[in-house]
Amino acid sequence: NYEAELAVRAAAGGKGWVTILPQTALRPGYEGSSIHRFVLNDKARSRAQVATHVRINYYPDGGVARLRVWGKPRHESAAATTSTSDGSSNTTITMPRNVSATSVMNDAVYSPAATDSKEVDASSPAAPPAPLEIKSNWVPFSAESYPHPELSSSDLGGAGLACSNKHYGVPSNLIRPSYGKDMGDGWETARHPDRPAIWAKDPKTGLMDADLMDWAVLKLGKPANLGVSRIILDTKHFRGNFPESVRVEGCCAPSNTEEDDAAVCEAIPDKKDSSNSAIQWFPLLPRTRMGPDAEHVFDRTSGSIVNEDKPVTHVRVTIYPDGGLSRVRIYGDASDPDHLQSHL
């Protein structure tokens, strides 16, 4: 979840924010590509000869492990001009008041008006704000009674077979019967390196107009012989890195051996020979927008699920463009095994 691009600006005594590193593309945080070193040219250095703070901007979002800035320090004293050994002068400025590491300050802290109009006691740090309380709207709909069992649950023998990316979690986490305890207890993928800085929107669907996606294949513990009746997609704890949208597909295939399951996993979009596979995936839930920290419930009775009468043995969950899910819960009617056999 590194950011596609970043820019760095500096607060240079009384001049406001000036750009010292323009918007620049970054690489993923893998070994060999995670370190980015930038040497500022003379023009950038002249714009921020006396910088007190730096501000880093991400495009569009993401994370940085470390930011290290090198330069020549100047003494924190009142504004004054001192002579150097070669006869030139160095001008220093009054440093802004100390800011607590947990404080969130606006640009006025760094403007001349914030320090020049009255004397500021730099020995007294700004009082930190109260801890930010994040309220969750998560409601456990899956705790309510439902006539059909959760066929995907690992308690019934469900399994996470394969995925396109498991940078932050494995697909087997998705079928745990418990609720996710944190983001690490779900399945989250790394951000795609081809993520654009600005996304285009499909005018018909309102969703991102991009083919970037990740997928996970899950085996149901018991086949949904009479079809899937409910799907719950849970983004619990994923408040900023939930997928923009999700699509769910199903297939009906033999699943008695590891070879059977391997054949299902081979029938995926990025396998060269998938078009020749006997496994046919069909939609269960069309690509649908997700939200943060919530259980998204889709029922057969509401018309949300398509092909609801087809037997299902495996599901493929596709997320766009990347991100994380906490749980995937597939419910259905496991009775009438003869109906399943007629579709194999």
| Closest of 257, 220, 243 to residue 296, by C-alpha | 243
Q: How far is Cα 287 from Cα 284, in angstroms, rounded to an integer?
A: 10
What tokens were used for 83?
A: 């002579």
Put residue 194 in one of left, alpha, beta given phi > 0 → left and psi -120 to 50 → alpha. alpha
pLDDT at 133: 56
Residues in the chain: 344
Instruction: State CA 17 to chain mean position distance.
Output: 29
Per DSSP, helices labelled H in 251-302 are: 258-266
DSSP H or E segment with residue 264: helix 258-266
pLDDT at 319: 97
Q: How far is Cα 322 from Cα 243, in angstroms, rounded to an integer?
A: 6
Q: How far is Cα 230 from Cα 239, in angstroms, rounded to an integer?
A: 24
- Per-residue buried b or exposed e for 57-69, using 16+ beta carbons within 10 Å of the residue's own CB: ebbeebeeeeeee
Put residue 164 in one of left, alpha, beta given phi > 0 → left and psi -120 to 50 → alpha. alpha
Instruction: State CA 16 to chain mean position distance.
Output: 32
pLDDT at 115: 36
pLDDT at 213: 94
| Closest of 159, 289, 157, 268 to residue 215, by C-alpha | 268
pLDDT at 54: 87
pLDDT at 186: 96
pLDDT at 134: 57
Rounded to two decimals, what is the model's pTM? 0.65
Q: How far is Cα 154 from Cα 89, in angstroms, rounded to an integer?
A: 73
Per-residue pLDDT of the chain (344 residues; tens, 9 = 90+): 655 566 677 766 666 788 888 888 888 777 778 888 888 888 888 877 778 888 888 887 778 888 888 888 776 544 444 445 555 444 443 434 443 333 333 333 333 333 333 343 444 444 555 554 556 777 788 888 899 999 999 999 999 999 999 988 999 999 999 999 999 999 999 988 888 878 899 999 999 998 899 999 999 999 999 999 999 999 999 998 999 999 999 999 877 788 888 888 887 765 544 454 678 899 999 999 999 999 999 999 999 999 999 999 999 999 999 999 999 999 999 887 766 666 66
pLDDT at 111: 34
- Strand segments, DSSP code E, in 29-108 are 51-59, 80-83, 89-92
